[in-house]
Structure formats: structure tokens, C-alpha cells
Amino acid sequence: MIYNEDCLEGMKKLADGSVELIATDPPYCVGVSSNGIKSSFSDFNLMRPFWEQCFGEWQRVLKEGGSVYVCTDWRTYPFL
């Protein structure tokens, strides 16, 4: 299934341990802040609450032995 909605809201609808694969390519905070100005690594901390919720939901919905693939780059990898 493919859902087109806020991921945090959509994941709440999924049963615990019901997902075999999570594949995502998040555009969040990669090199530019929300006002279009070049950001720095410390700006990633603004996204910490989002990622904490997201990782918690991934852990809840992922089946034992499931996989998570996150497309990222050298700027976001250390943060994730």
C-alpha cells in the first residue's frame, strides 16, 4: 500500500509489527533551513522531536527481522 499523508499520522493507523520494509527518502533539513537560508549541522537539532517520533513509530510498526532503508547524504547521515 502507498499512503499520501503526514507520515506520523499515517503510521498511527498501522498495527504493531505489521510492516516488513520501511523505505524512505526524507527531504527534511538537508542543507537549507525552512526560510531558504543555508543551514548548519546544528540546525538538524530542530528536527530532533520529529525524528524521535518517527523512529519510535518505525520501531513499533516494524516486524521482527524487518528492514529500514533511509536514503540520505553525508550531511544528514551523522544526525540520523
The answer to whether residue 77 is domain-embedded is no
Regarding pTM above 0.75, the answer is: no
The answer to whether residue 76 is domain-embedded is no
Distance between CA atoms of residues 80 and 73, nearest Å: 10
Is 70 in a helix, a strand, or coil? strand
Is 27 in a helix, a strand, or coil? coil
pLDDT of residue 2: 76
CB 15 within 8 A of CB 61: yes
Total number of domains in the chain: 1
Closest CA to 56 of 46, 45, 68, 44: 68
The answer to whether residue 80 is domain-embedded is no
Could you report the average pLDDT of every consecutive run of 10 residues in the chain (80 residues)? 85 96 77 58 69 93 96 74
pLDDT of residue 7: 87
pLDDT of residue 71: 87
pLDDT of residue 43: 59
pLDDT of residue 37: 62
Range of the structural domain that residue 17 is part of: 7-70
pLDDT of residue 15: 97
The answer to whether residue 49 is domain-embedded is yes
